[in-house]
Structure 1
Amino acid sequence: MYQEERLIAILNHLTKHKRISIDDICEQFAVSRDTARRDLVKLDEKGTIVRTRGGAILSNLSKDISSYEQRLQLVPEAKKEIAKRAVSLIKDYDYIILDASTTVEFVAEYLNTKQNTIVTNSIQIASTLTKNETVTIHLLGGQLHRPQQYIYGAAAIEMLRNYHVDKLFLGACGITQSGLSSPYEEEGLLVKEMIQRADQVIVLADQSKFGKQMFYNVCTLEDIDIIVTDRFPDEELKSVFQQYEIELLTTKGV
């Protein structure tokens, strides 16, 4: 077996079993300990694993940061279905915060209730909502983050402190047992304030976000009321959600 084939097999093992030892690699692939170590060094250099004493675990810290336009193209059908399910939670006259998530943008697009007042830091969502004549739009002011097309900073946080809403809809870059995380600290600080301003916190996340850890921790699971997703997470994470009494809604309706 060539090294690249072994590396793929090692990653498959880690995905299933969470960790692998030098002895496991030697036994499974009939290679020497030196060869097993070289395989782990190679994967470590790629940033896909974390080497431990005698083996390795998968790296939970995701460093992939795509632009807003790139994220909009990722699993678009799943995002649309999640958004449609989320829209069913909105009632006429609800006061709402929409964060700058690509999935949440579809919520703005599919919104079919009347007389909603919406606060957002997303220039794309604000633009989408202008097509809905029954909606009152409050666009936060502050500094523009060009790649992700959102407003952030001290001015935006200060504006948020003047509002209180029924529901907050926010996207998730990563969800683990520790809660929600974001690659951007400045975005995370704004979302923290959004959570404080809402009676109900609703997270929209496709299945790829479960188990993914980003740089900045935004909130704990204790802050979340509902998660809308296209597929349930694994049983371990699902059990943790249940412990925190988080309601899980899927696009399948089960």
Structure 2
Amino acid sequence: MTTDTPKVSSERQHQILRRALADRVVKIKDLSAELGVHEMTVRRDIDQLAEQGLLERIHGGARIVEKTSEEVAHQLRATKNTEAKEAIARAALNLIEDGDVVALDASTTALALARLLHARNVSAIVSGLDAANVLAANGVPFLMVGGNFHAPARSFVGAFFMDTMTRLHPDKVFFSAKAFSPDTGFTDPHLPEVGAKQTLIRSAGTVIALLDSTKFERRALATIATLDEVDVLITDQTPSERTLSALEAADIQLTMTQETP
């Protein structure tokens, strides 16, 4: 299985797309000043993005192509904090044993773990198209749970998904969230994803949260899981003392891929 999502070639082009997603329309002169490059450089970047169908040229600038904006947003999320996500995925793999049935949410951190699963003799349950593509390409047996397609996360959600997951019992569930704080737990702004993640978490024998440190001490709209619903938290840096105390009180095993000085 393959995906035809366009590939963005440079960090500068990612920045242009981020601005276009936020503002809908971007001006070459503004981007030139913001990025510290010549207007001709920005124009070439816009031309390349337009050739891929990601932007539409307009006089003096460009605007996001509406029909691809969700896919672009997903691609940009997938390229954010990639080193931390890959380190977290490697640590998560150490918790997986041959013979396990593992379930992965549709987060980009869980996707990084999906890329490593061929190193274990396991089977998987997934709700995300990208994870399914990776597992299929690597020969990892998996069950894809369907439902209503949620384009921003390229995942399946809704009543059908949740009903099916209540009948499945994976050994370990790996999930991520947009934010975490001791007060609100693990939270996410996308309500369809919240319901799917909650059902995934409640199906599991062991629940493992995969969270890079940029998401700590923040909160989003809805709670996915409270601290007492999570067994292990894997992150890339040491959390604050307040968070450490809350994790210890909740008896959550903390694994860090990098110690802060």
Please confirm whether the aligned pair reaches a TM-score higher than 0.5, indicating the same fold: yes
The 1:116/1:253 distance shift into structure 2, 3 A limit, reads: farther
Tell me the secondary structure at the aligned position of residue 130 of structure 1.
helix
Q: Distance in 1 between matches of 2:219 and 2:146?
A: 29
| Structure 2 unpaired stretches of 5+ | 1-71
Deviations 1:216-246 (A, max 9, x none): 1111100011111100111011111000011
* Of 72, 88, 97, the match for 2:94: 88
Q: Is the partner of 2:137 in helix, strand or coil?
A: coil
Structure 1 residue 115 displacement after superposition:
3.3
Is the Cα contact below 8 Å between 2:109 and 2:176 reproduced in 1? yes
Q: Which residue of 2 aligns with 1:223?
A: 229
Q: 2:214 aligns with which of 208, 219, 232?
A: 208
Secondary structure in 2 matching 1:165: coil
What is the number of equivalent residue pairs in this alignment?
Answer: 188
Residue 253 of structure 1, CA deviation:
7.4
Residue-by-residue CA offset, 1:84-111 (whole Å, 9 max, x unaligned): 1111111111011100010110101012
1:176·1:213 contact (CA, 8 Å) conserved in 2? yes
**Mind listing any 5+ residue stretches in structure 1 that lack a counterpart?**
1-65
Q: 1:153 aligns with which of 158, 182, 186?
A: 158
| One-letter amino acid matched to 2:244 | K
For the Cα contact (< 8 Å) 2:145–2:156, is it kept in 1?
yes
Q: Residue by residue, what CA displacement relative to the aligned partner does 1:110-156 show, whole Å, maximum 9, x if unpaired?
A: 124443121111000010001222x2211111111112111111111
State the TM-score, normalizing by the size of structure 1: 0.71
Deviations 1:39-94 (A, max 9, x none): xxxxxxxxxxxxxxxxxxxxxxxxxxx93211111111111111111111111110
Rounded Cα–Cα distance in structure 2 between residues aligned with 1:201 and 1:71: 23
C-alpha separation between the residues in 1 aligned to 2:201 and 2:127?
14
What is the percentage of aligned positions where both structures have the same residue? Answer: 30
Q: 2:78 aligns with which of 51, 72, 75?
A: 72
Separation in 2 of the partners of 1:180 and 1:216? 8
Specify the structure having the higher radius of gyration (Cα): 1
Q: Secondary structure at the match of 2:134?
A: helix
- For the residue of structure 1 that corresponds to 2:205, the secondary structure is strand
The counterpart of 2:175, out of the listed 152, 170, 179, is 170
Local SS of the residue matching 2:146? coil
